[in-house]
Structure 1
Amino acid sequence: MATEDRAVVEAVKASGKSTLKRAKAKANETIGQFFNVTLDIAVTGKTGSGKSSFVNSIRGLSDDDEGAAPTGVIEITTKPTKYVHPTMPNVKIWDLPGIGSPNFRAKKYLKDVQFKIYDFFIILNSERFTENDIMLAKEIRKQKKHFYFVRSKIDIDISSEQRKARFNEQKVLDTIRDYCVRNLNELGNPEVFLISSVDWQKYDFEKLQNTLTDDLPDHKQSALLQAWPMCSAATLEKKIKLFKGLTWAASLASVGVAVIPIPGTSVACDAAIALVFLSRCYYAFGLDDRSLKRLSEKVNMSLLEYRAKSKFANAIQKKAVTTIHVGASVVTMSCCADLVSLLPGVGSGLAAGLSFASTQYLLREGVNELAKTAGEIRKLAGLDTIY
């Protein structure tokens, strides 16, 4: 069909390749990488700095959620502990032992925690950064990896300062930041990110995400962006851009499919690729039960009912969520029944083998509708929104 021809030409152009054959090969590589790329984040710092709470925050969990890293007033982590992201199984956050010992040796520490595993290090402190933090940063720098200084528990500092008559939040933040930077001047005044693990919407949580993303190789950026909690409208916009930019690859990869291994599956059929792609989108946009319940608690209003207005969210929530964990379990054609039925005039014919144009339509409509639903929910919650 002419429509299909135009769609294929458009996809070939998006791939940057000159022929359909080469475009398909590029699509298989791109979407396979999208599903399978790994990211290992190391979180370390002084005992009591809030490492475990920060690990939970990145994973979109509260400290008392099932599967959360245990927290406490004493050092709980005695060896590197891996926490798999609940919706992105190829993203792992490692809670490393504290570095507060007077006999701390950075080189030995990095050897003990298996330095080479991690893509980058986050060095946390809830007070001032110490000589141990500096020693560790220097050793990481020698090994040519990135490190980031994060000053945690800012919400507690602000709450304490609010009791004062002439309280000025920005002045307090500037004072804390300057104090931290002064202690790190021998490293060339590195940037310090001020964060609260209980409130992603405030302080430097989004700025930290942007910096991490910019420093990562291209193929790792998508993993971080999908896994990072929804801390602002700008974060949502970046996630939307990511998925829209990959619809051509998912569409081409799902037609006349070469084998695309997805974690937990031996082969992904055409409809399954579409399903896993839109399921990733659903979770990344914060439309899953856990994300919406947490947001509902924060703004003191029920938001789950608004998700029900999205046909795609309903289809994924009712079928996909009970059958897959974002690519971690076996995906079958039967999971796609509700998604397939959304396409006018296609019906069961699509289940037998999605045409490229139909697949591309399905993915574009799905991303657009899920994005619109996420934006409208943020608006209803009284948060900043791009809509």
Structure 2
Amino acid sequence: MASLEDGFEIIDPKDLEEIKEAMENKDLSTVVEKVQDYFEQQDRVELNIAITGESGSGKSTFVNAFRGLGDEEKGSAPTGVVETTMEPEVYPHPKYPNVKVWDLPGIGTPNFKADEYLEEVGFQRYDFFIIVSSDRFRECHAQLANEINKMKKKFYFIRSKIDSNIDAESRKKNFNKEKTLDVIQRDCVKGLQSIGVSCPDVFLISCFDLGSYDFGLLEKTMERELPQHKRHALMLALPNISLDINKRKRKALQADIWKLAALSAGVSAIPVPGLGAAADVGILVIGLRRFYNAFSLDDQSLQRLADKSGKSFEELKSVLKSPLHTEISRDVVIKLLNSSVGYAVENVVEYFLSTIPVVGSLAAGALSFGTIYYMLNKCLNELAEDGRNVLMVALQSSVDPPPPSHPGEGSDVERPKAP
């Protein structure tokens, strides 16, 4: 378990000093602004994901699905049977605009040259590439992958429209879904190896059912290979479409609680009556709104899930139990704080302790740290449980679903690669 001192180590001393100065000047608006600015620093870390492939492969649909949008929603990438992307188009995540998904022009034209293509689309701006194909991978895919590899960038192959393949194969006698998926995956790997790509990672994806097949394995692979400061951005931006992602979001957000609680401890050490409590409210509003967004509990997200799952919006909404499921405002947070046992008493004790040099300040900080940590942890658990319950309804199950029918989704098991 981390200590209070561990929490202070992750706060920039300059940021903390500016907050203390604002507190001493009794400048409430600046205090709240500084607190928000500190915690949103991690949101300024950009993650740029490039999606490329041949025309009609489904890359634009994947851009939309990754951002939690349908093909016809406002802000979605245009899709069609012909190439609709003539130059790189950026599509920021609707809730995390620092996560940017780029829809690149199609590849595979007769005069295609991988090195020139990457130069034209500005390869240096992207953290990694996703190469999409709806059928067999061809020479153009291999050329592009090898050129990306020369430039020391990561890339992943996606075999899209896998749901259509399964639907077609299911009409055959003695159909076996697991075997069919393994045959497709092995065929993709062998095909890429035969045209010069060594040890390719191929993920089978349905953009219309992103929670199935290999999306979970793709996400874990991307996260594992990203720098630490960008993993958090990816984790928060992922659509909350599986119980595994819900669980891992909860774990990632748990780490944020220490940062917020440590920040509260720092600003509470200044002996200005009432300002510590005001800062705590601001900190809680910031943190709780992040939790709420991460678990996709807003009405628009619930409606999208209802449309995809066949459940009604009312059914999904009915399982939300947290008092925060309707709105997260200062008034709601204040009400929650006032209802917490001992909080009002702590505020009074906190002020008098903070007037005692050194020891008093540390004690005041500890009280504030404990209060914020308790409230954020409690609310995170409640919102994560709401997110889980919504998914359970969408999955039409009252218990965890059985293990996936093929390796990859919801597990760390890798598909066997072709020899």
For the superposition of Structure 1 and Structure 2, which TM-score range results when normalised by the shorter chain?
0.7 to 0.9
Equivalent residues in 2 for 1:264-279, closer than 5 Å: 270-279=280-289
Q: How many aligned positions are there?
A: 346
Q: Is the 8 A contact 1:293 1:303 kept in 2?
A: no
For 2:267 and 2:59, the matched residues in 1 are separated by 43
Q: Which residue does the alignment assign to 1:191?
A: 201
Q: Equivalent of 2:330, from 333, 336, 356?
A: 336
| Corresponding position: 1:83 with 2:91 | yes
Residues 11 and 249, structure 1, Cα contact 8 Å, conserved in 2 = no
Check if 1:314 corresponds to 2:326.
yes
Matched, 1:10 2:22: no
For residues 272 and 129 of structure 1, what CA distance do their matches in structure 2 show?
Answer: 51
Matches within 5 A, 1:168-247: 168-185=176-193, 186-247=196-257
Q: Secondary structure at the match of 2:50?
A: strand
Q: SS where residue 3 of structure 2 aligns? A: helix
Contact kept? 1:124, 1:149, Cα under 8 Å: yes
CA distance in 2 between counterparts of 1:161 and 1:30 reads 53
2:52 is paired with a residue whose SS is: strand
Q: Distance in 1 between matches of 2:135 and 2:252?
A: 36
- Residue pair 2:319, 2:389 contacting (<8 A) in 1 also: no
Distance 1:114 1:256, change over 3 A: same
CA distance 1:108–1:141, shift in 2 (3 Å): same
- How far, CA to CA, are the matches of 1:123 and 1:299 in structure 2? 31
Offset at residue 32 of structure 1 (A): 4.7
Unaligned segments of structure 1, at least 5 residues: 1-6, 259-267, 317-334
CA distance in structure 2 between the partners assigned to 1:124 and 1:385 by the alignment: 34
Can you list the C-alpha shifts for 1:103-144, whole angstroms capped at 9, x where unaligned? 111111111101111100000000011111111111111110
Matched, 1:368 2:381: yes
Q: Max radius of gyration: which structure?
A: 2
Residue type matched to 1:51 in 2?
K
Change in Cα spacing, 1:228 to 1:342, as seen in structure 2 (3 Å) is same
State the match for 2:150 in structure 1.
142
Per-residue deviation at 1:157?
Answer: 0.7
Aligned equivalents of 1:379, 1:359: Cα separation in 2: 30
Which residue is equivalent to 2:12? 25
Residue 307 of structure 1: how far off its partner (Å): 5.5
CA-based RMSD of the aligned residues comes to 2.8
**How has the CA–CA distance of structure 1 residues 255 and 204 changed in structure 2, closer, same or farther, with 3 Å as cutoff?**
same
The SS at the match of 1:184 is helix
Equivalent of 2:311 in 293, 300, 321: 300
CA drift of 1:384 comes to 7.9
**One-letter amino acid matched to 1:198:** F
Equivalent position SS for 2:336: coil
Query: How is 1:341-352 mapped onto 2 (pairs within 5 angstroms)?
Result: 341-343=335-337, 344=339, 346=343
Aligned mate of 2:122, from 94, 103, 114: 114
**1:163 deviation in Å?**
1.6
**1:274 Cα deviation (Å)?**
2.7
